[in-house]
Amino acid sequence: MKTNKWLLALLLIVAACEKDDSITTQELSSETVPIVSVVYIQNGHICKTRANSNGTPTLCFKDSNSRTLFKEQLSEMTDEEKQTIINQYGIRTLYNIADDADDELEFIANTATSEEDFRNKYCEYKSKYEDILIGNDIDTTDLSLYVPDEDNVMSYIGNTDKEYVIGDEIYKANLNDSLSSSQKYLSQMNNNGTDVSVNAFIDTPKKGKRVYFNSYLRGNRLWVKMFCKKKMWYGWKNDPHRSYYFDTYFGMNFSYLMLGKYGQEIVTSRLPRFVFNRNVKRGFSIILGKVTSGYTLSGEIHTWTDMTSERDAKGKEIIISDKGYSYPKCIEVNSKIVKIQHRL
């Protein structure tokens, strides 16, 4: 949701160069985009074109300043926007591996014939991704694996080997083996069994299902993160088959933001309901808007998932329309309300 002229230029360049392995800069308006191209690393060697290599696609920067600017711009985007930008270059990252690992864990859970069988397969599964992904060392009931150091934007810039190139040299992203700050906070909440429903919550709408919500400020931007987990044998894993909905109630010092057609940041009005039902296998993390005045933000967010939305007699989700928008019908009595109280 947060972008600018640089991202606009980047998106246009990526689109224009889909048939070319090399993505370079162009002059747009009065600004120049940092030079970013794609090279291929094979056995420690850099190949400039795909035709001469079966190597791993890797981001290549003209110089360290270009990498720094690229990193700064990515840091202002949502997780989904970061991944979209990198994937448009044809780069697979640790996040792609994490998605593959989650699919694999889903298969193991569904095909295990007993808890002992699952434990044996899960042990092999963890060994397979050792030194690539990390487990949750705070909440030992969490069986999912995570990208290390998710708060570090370099986790998106490196390829599946954490590598990127500056000039003619290969570098490796220095990532520590820690969970994101948001995941740590929610894991500690889960361990403590607390749910104050201020800025965050963990809810159990159904047996064997959990909904996690967290909000936080970065600068004056309000970030909202929401995901689900499901019970699996003796633990919990990411639930990739959920949809998320929420209504917002903030004062006059808050402006909603959206992504424009060309990637620019646009101040917009409050939607009748926010709906996330596509590409949310690991939930969603978005910039909802920004604080425009003062030093505090107060309000409420009323949340639902497809487990708490309204359904007809056949079990099909009921869709309603309002002011040109269509969204699932949700009633207040089934909402999980979180109070938002942040200070800049």
pLDDT in tens, 213-226: 999 999 999 999 99
Confidence of residue 109 (pLDDT cuts 50, 70, 90): very high
Q: What is the pLDDT of residue 261?
A: 62
What pLDDT, in 10s, does the model give residues 235-250?
Answer: 999 999 999 999 999 9
Cα distances (angstroms) measured from residue 167 to each of 65, 69, 134, 136, 297 = 11, 15, 31, 36, 44
Residue 265 has pLDDT above 70, yes or no: yes
Q: What is the domain partition of the chain in residue ranges?
A: 5-91+153-172, 180-343
d(CA 197, CA 271): 23
Q: What is the pTM of this model?
A: 0.84
Q: Flag whether pLDDT at 129 surpasses 50.
A: yes
What is the rounded CA–CA span in Å between residue 231 and residue 239?
9
Residue 52, pLDDT score: 58
Strand pairing report for 45-47 and 36-42: antiparallel
For 215, the token pair is: 């909000």
pLDDT digits (tens, 9 = 90+) for 20-65: 443 333 332 324 444 789 999 998 999 887 765 688 999 999 999 9
Mention the CATH class of domain 180-343. Answer: mainly beta
Would strands 209-218 and 200-206 be described as parallel, antiparallel, or unpaired? antiparallel
- Give the per-residue pLDDT at 49: 79
